[in-house]
Amino acid sequence: MQLNDTAAIVTGGASGLGAATAAALAAKGAKVFAFDLPASIEGATAPEGVELVPVDVTDPEQVAAGVETAAGAGVPLRTVVSCAGIGPSMRILGRKGPHDLAFYAKVVQVNLVGTFNVMTLAAEKIAATEPLEHGQRGVVINTASIAAYDGQVGQAAYASSKGGVVGLTLPAARDLAQFGIRVLTIAPGIVETPMLATVSDEFRAGLAAGVPFPQRLGRPDEYAQLAVNLVEHDYLNGEVIRMDGALRMAPR
Check if the beta carbon of residue 142 is closer than 8 Å to that of residue 170. Answer: no
User: CA angle at residue 219 from 217 to 225, to 5 degrees?
Assistant: 135
Three-state DSSP class for residue 217: coil
For 166, phi and psi rounded to 5 degrees?
-60, -50
Give the C-alpha separation, 33 to 13, whole Å. 8
Give the C-alpha separation, 154 to 10, whole Å. 28
Per the annotation, the verdict on 235 as an active-site residue is: no
Three-state DSSP class for residue 38: helix
Number of Cβ atoms within 10 Å of the Cβ of 15: 19
Give the C-alpha separation, 89 to 87, whole Å. 7
Of 104, 149, 158, 223, catalytic: 158
Residues with catalytic annotation?
Answer: 158
